[in-house]
Structure 1
Amino acid sequence: MKNIVISGYYGFNNLGDEAVLAGISSLLKRKREDLKITVLSAEPEQTADRYGLNAVSRTSVVQILAALAEADLFISGGGSLLQDVTGSFSVPYYLGLAWLARLQGTKTVYYAQGAGPLNKKWSQLLTAFSLNRFELLGVRDQGSQNLLQEIGVKKEIELTVDPVFALYDPLNNLKQQIKGKIEVGISVRPWSVDYISELAAALNQFAEGKKVKFIIFPMHQGSDEESSLQLQKKLKAEAEICALPPVPGEALKVFSQLDLFVGVRLHSLIFALLNQIPLLALSYDPKIEGLLSELDYLPLIKLEDLKADQAAAELENIFAARYSLRKKIKGFIKLKKAGAEDFAELVLEEVDTCES
């Protein structure tokens, strides 16, 4: 039996990161049922129970070293772990774990991550020095590949896809029910730009003369609720805040009956795409542009440029074209799921070359 240890932002009630873990683990276990996977988590008991995997505390050096001592492969990712915008801890923490693995002779894989922003010189140097010593590097978008090459990563970098696309299930995309209202899903998050009022004005403008119901989804429990409530109070049409199930597969199904989606968080947008929902992306980070770079038929507005009239017009456009857009999105998702499968095969090839 081969042992894999996975490190990421797991156990923090962030549904996007939980979906990343679900995508990686389901891909690997579907292809190799006998794999033993151990996750480094902030809530190891919860993670173990939710995914049927082993889990240890991400802050216990003793437990981490014990897991790595048995590991054949160490996976860093997915998500956007190597960035220095939210603090200076992420880069040394996640790369430090990889070095602990290497010191024990364990192979390391950078799994379909988004890289950056990396604004500090020491972050760039440490990242390049470390990633050049990984066995396999995979990034989820072209911008991340370009950034890593610019800061000095010489090793080949595979351009792959976010592992959440592995959760695509066409059975969740059956014909929508006939409803008396247009259901618009929304995901917002706190950010340095004050955009809630402008977004509310756009949504109110779109809802004029229509029967619309707005459903707001806090994707990161404990973080997104306040912004969601602020938006709800400013909306004139019916609006509710919907607490999503903590299990990614169940949360995905909640999106299935939406007609449109407006999202700030990356994985809220991917959840919408997995359900073939036409969307308006609001970008606070280059990773959003990375996702939309292959979807030129869907609109994107940067948060700092958000204006009510433009956003309302974009919503009108995608609503008018929603049936043709759903067909285009379906083809895109199929390609992305195949890409996720292909990268998992590369990871398993690394596992197969490990000495037992």
Structure 2
Amino acid sequence: MKVIHLISGGDSGGAKTHVLSLLQNLSRTIDVTMVCFLEGPFAQEARELDIRTEVYPGRNVLHTLRLLQKKIRTEGYDLIHCHGARGNMMGAMLRRSTGLPVVTTVHSDYRLDYLGRPFSRISYGTVNTIALRFLDYRIGVSDAMVDLLISRGFDPDKLFAIYNGIDFTLPPPAMDRTAYYRSVGLNADDDSVVVGIAARLNPVKDIATLIRGFARAHASCPNLRLLIAGDGEQRAMLEGLARDLGVAPFVCFAGWISDTNTFYQSIDINTLTSLSETFPYALTEGARACLPTVSSRVGGVPYLIDHGVNGLLFSPGDADELARHLITLARDPVQRQHLGCRLRQKGVEEYSLESTVRRQLEIYQIVLRRKDRRGTVGRRDGALVCGAYGRGNAGDDAILEAIVRELRQIDPDLPVWVLSRRPDETRMTYRVNSIYTFGFPKFLRRMGRTRLYINGGGSLMQDVTSRRSLWFYLFTISAAKKLGNRVLMYGCGIGPIHYPSNRRLCARVLERNVDMITLRDTHSLTELEDMGINHPEVLLSSDPTVILPAARPEVIDGMLESRGLDPKGRYIGFTLRPWPGYEEKAELFGRAADYAWETYGLTPVFLPIEKRLDVGACQKAAAHMKAPHYIFEDTGASDHTIGLFARMQVVVSMRLHALVFSAGQGVPLVGVVYDQKISSFLNYIGQDLFTDLNDVTYEGLCAHIDAAVKRIGDTEFLSGGVDRLRQVERRNSQAAEKLLRLGR
């Protein structure tokens, strides 16, 4: 593989470090050439790193363009990789004339690159903004940068994320902590907890908030010290602020330091207080030294730091929140150790230099593979997925995640489109193209270009909650078929459909327009048979979410610890939802939760699936409780949610996906049936502890909890049905693969 990189040559800071480090390591695997448009320290440093570097100076753009065209054609490059405004401009002009795919790395927010330089902003900034739209693919130097590009309308299918990786090998420090403190002038001893930051002393780094937060924390923890490594235009102001707040004797301004390795190994808490960042090296350097980190919640920071799991986050500029975090860590050396070790582990796995190089090579391979694909798939390509998405329901979100995951496994380059109530949020979360659910002109036009239409999963074919939703889904199925798609109903539940007219309409539409149906339970199969649906190929499968994994144990440990819950504690989970008749039963759930605590020592934890509705239902039950308990306001991403259910000894649930998640983790279940799908699922996996909501009694709930507790650890009983579910779930993706193949 031969790749030519185009860059101005005047770059500095993180962009310079990223490009030089990346190209130095890439050149050991592939053929890399860097072309700069001006001579200077950048090009010279690249040559010293043995990066093949050429300089094409001069302001004659057309002359430079002709030289590049000739070089690319005669030397047989496979791909053009651009950096910055001048590189992007050249890449946009070379794209058509060379026929090569053109990739650019977006190192910063292109709209802010020339702030304070009005002429450059109008000229270079405008050229760059236009050129970015004409390139084939864009690489953001963090997931946050990719999110920014998605929010500005760039195609998620043509965006990639990469991080500024570092070598996580930790060399020994040049001196011990005590000697280092003396060398920089910090007044600290063995009992001190040293907070540190390495940053430029300018407004965007907001060191003033750090000093204010430190001063408030120091009042409660006098052993705290602050070491600031860096210099800049705000130094005098910041020194004055430390004096005014009375903490000057405990704050050291070390100035610029060259030995960052010893700095990070000498402090106890790493901090970042920036108002804006992409993905700072200071965090990964701190992670390399196993440092617990307190950072402002900006840019790509939350992608590295999971709050409470491997670090602590605060709102930019909030000195009080920062102070609370510093006090927490100053008083708890065990938590400091846990957060630091988890951060290093994540850093090694995802943000090392090796992972950055692997990721860049993977991106190149994807781009070249997609170039070859254009000539094989024809005019139509991709899949359109329609379901109850973008409504804040963790179960539906998990279904979409599972479907997208399985489609990517079938064909990693398949364009995926999703109908969603919140298309912007769906684009960000799943990195797929998304159309507003009721944007009829847009999704009908897209149906004319895709090969596969997926309806599902979940219980979309029902008229209990809404007849109009049933009519809508039937319309989209009919339209997709008429517009040339293969149609698949994916891991669906069917029914209940009560109205005879709706049953006739559903039977007619599915019979005429659906190619295959995969069902998640046997009751749904009976419903199809009762409606006389015979034409589509029907397979009994299972809910797609059974394939989703739980988050790593240390992540769930951190989620529990950050909420004051013991990661090794024993818990009973409750997932409740509002439904006609629930309010009369809420007290019984609260009393049953008390019973579990008093009888078995199980702390009740309430876990919502649809937080907009479920948290209120949980609060109504908890209002009748005496036992200690905790209500999660939000369980987070699908893997976090599944991981939390995995920590329960028993789960009592009205929600189907709480039962699915728990069953998949081998947790004993107690189901409360408000809909046929609950009992159908439990029967399907051989579980018998459930009762109808209308029949719930305190004695009955307690008896079910007794029986479920006896099953704790009975892996043979609990895993048999779930193992079968996972095996038959493959039929969902096999059906999609079959129809995609036929649709070519």
TM-score (norm 1): 0.93
Aligned residues with identical type, % of pairs = 24
2:596 counterpart residue number: 206
- 1:131-280 to 2 correspondence within 5 Å? 131-133=510-512, 134-155=514-535, 156-168=537-549, 181-193=569-581, 194-280=584-670
Q: Is the contact between residue 38 and residue 55 of structure 1 (CA under 8 Å) also seen in structure 2?
A: yes
Q: Is the contact between residue 551 and residue 643 of structure 2 (CA under 8 Å) also seen in structure 1?
A: no
Q: Secondary structure at the match of 1:10?
A: coil
| Whole-angstrom distance in 1 between the partners of 2:599 and 2:731 | 47
1:43 counterpart residue number: 422
2:735 counterpart residue number: 346
Paired residues in the alignment total: 353
Structure 2 residue runs of 5 or longer lacking an equivalent are 1-376, 561-565
- 1:307-318 to 2 correspondence within 5 Å? 307-318=697-708
* Letter in structure 1 aligned against 2:626: K
**Of residues 89, 112, 116 in structure 1, which corresponds to 2:468?**
89
2:121 counterpart residue number: none
- 1:3-152 to 2 correspondence within 5 Å? 3-133=382-512, 134-152=514-532
**Higher normalized contact order (CA 8 Å, seq sep 6+, divided by chain length):** 1
1:299 counterpart residue number: 689
What RMSD, in angstroms, separates the aligned Cα atoms of the two structures? 2.2
Q: Is the contact between residue 98 and residue 108 of structure 1 (CA under 8 Å) also seen in structure 2?
A: yes
2:674 counterpart residue number: 284
Higher-Rg structure is: 2
| Whole-angstrom distance in 2 between the partners of 1:80 and 1:288 | 11
Q: State the 1:279 CA deviation.
A: 1.3
Q: Are 2:717 and 1:336 equivalent residues in the alignment?
A: no
| Whole-angstrom distance in 2 between the partners of 1:297 and 1:16 | 20
Q: State the 1:170 CA deviation.
A: 10
Q: Secondary structure at the match of 1:81?
A: strand
| Whole-angstrom distance in 1 between the partners of 2:490 and 2:553 | 26
- Structure 2 CA distance for partners of 1:18 and 1:346, relative to 1, 3 Å: same
* Letter in structure 2 aligned against 1:141: D
Q: Secondary structure at the match of 1:132?
A: helix
Q: Is the contact between residue 212 and residue 237 of structure 1 (CA under 8 Å) also seen in structure 2?
A: no
- Structure 2 CA distance for partners of 1:181 and 1:254, relative to 1, 3 Å: closer
Q: Is the contact between residue 76 and residue 109 of structure 1 (CA under 8 Å) also seen in structure 2?
A: yes
Q: State the 1:95 CA deviation.
A: 0.7
Q: State the 1:181 CA deviation.
A: 4.5
Q: Is the contact between residue 8 and residue 79 of structure 1 (CA under 8 Å) also seen in structure 2?
A: yes
* Letter in structure 2 aligned against 1:288: I
| Whole-angstrom distance in 2 between the partners of 1:353 and 1:172 | 42
| Whole-angstrom distance in 2 between the partners of 1:331 and 1:146 | 23
Q: Is the contact between residue 419 and residue 434 of structure 2 (CA under 8 Å) also seen in structure 1?
A: yes
Structure 1 residue runs of 5 or longer lacking an equivalent are none
Q: State the 1:211 CA deviation.
A: 2.8
| Whole-angstrom distance in 2 between the partners of 1:76 and 1:341 | 17
Q: Is the contact between residue 551 and residue 642 of structure 2 (CA under 8 Å) also seen in structure 1?
A: no
| Whole-angstrom distance in 2 between the partners of 1:89 and 1:164 | 26
> What's the CA shift string for 1:180-236, capped at 9, x where partnerless?
743011100001113212222222233324433111112112112221110111122
- Structure 2 CA distance for partners of 1:170 and 1:341, relative to 1, 3 Å: farther
| Whole-angstrom distance in 2 between the partners of 1:77 and 1:61 | 18
| Whole-angstrom distance in 1 between the partners of 2:601 and 2:491 | 41
Q: Secondary structure at the match of 2:526?
A: helix
| Whole-angstrom distance in 2 between the partners of 1:54 and 1:275 | 31
Q: Secondary structure at the match of 1:89?
A: helix
Q: Which deviates further from its counterpart, 245-254 or 29-38?
A: 245-254
1:323 counterpart residue number: 713
> What's the CA shift string for 1:331-350, capped at 9, x where partnerless?
33232122112321122111
TM-score (norm 2): 0.46
- Structure 2 CA distance for partners of 1:138 and 1:264, relative to 1, 3 Å: same
- Structure 2 CA distance for partners of 1:247 and 1:206, relative to 1, 3 Å: closer
Q: Is the contact between residue 540 and residue 728 of structure 2 (CA under 8 Å) also seen in structure 1?
A: no
* Letter in structure 1 aligned against 2:650: L
Q: Which deviates further from its counterpart, 73-82 or 60-69?
A: 60-69
| Whole-angstrom distance in 2 between the partners of 1:93 and 1:215 | 37
Q: State the 1:48 CA deviation.
A: 1.2
Q: State the 1:172 CA deviation.
A: 6.3
| Whole-angstrom distance in 2 between the partners of 1:217 and 1:316 | 21
Q: Secondary structure at the match of 1:315?
A: helix
Q: State the 1:249 CA deviation.
A: 2.0
2:142 counterpart residue number: none
Q: Is the contact between residue 11 and residue 18 of structure 1 (CA under 8 Å) also seen in structure 2?
A: yes
Q: Is the contact between residue 544 and residue 732 of structure 2 (CA under 8 Å) also seen in structure 1?
A: no
Q: Is the contact between residue 202 and residue 307 of structure 1 (CA under 8 Å) also seen in structure 2?
A: no
- Structure 2 CA distance for partners of 1:95 and 1:180, relative to 1, 3 Å: closer
Q: Is the contact between residue 520 and residue 541 of structure 2 (CA under 8 Å) also seen in structure 1?
A: yes
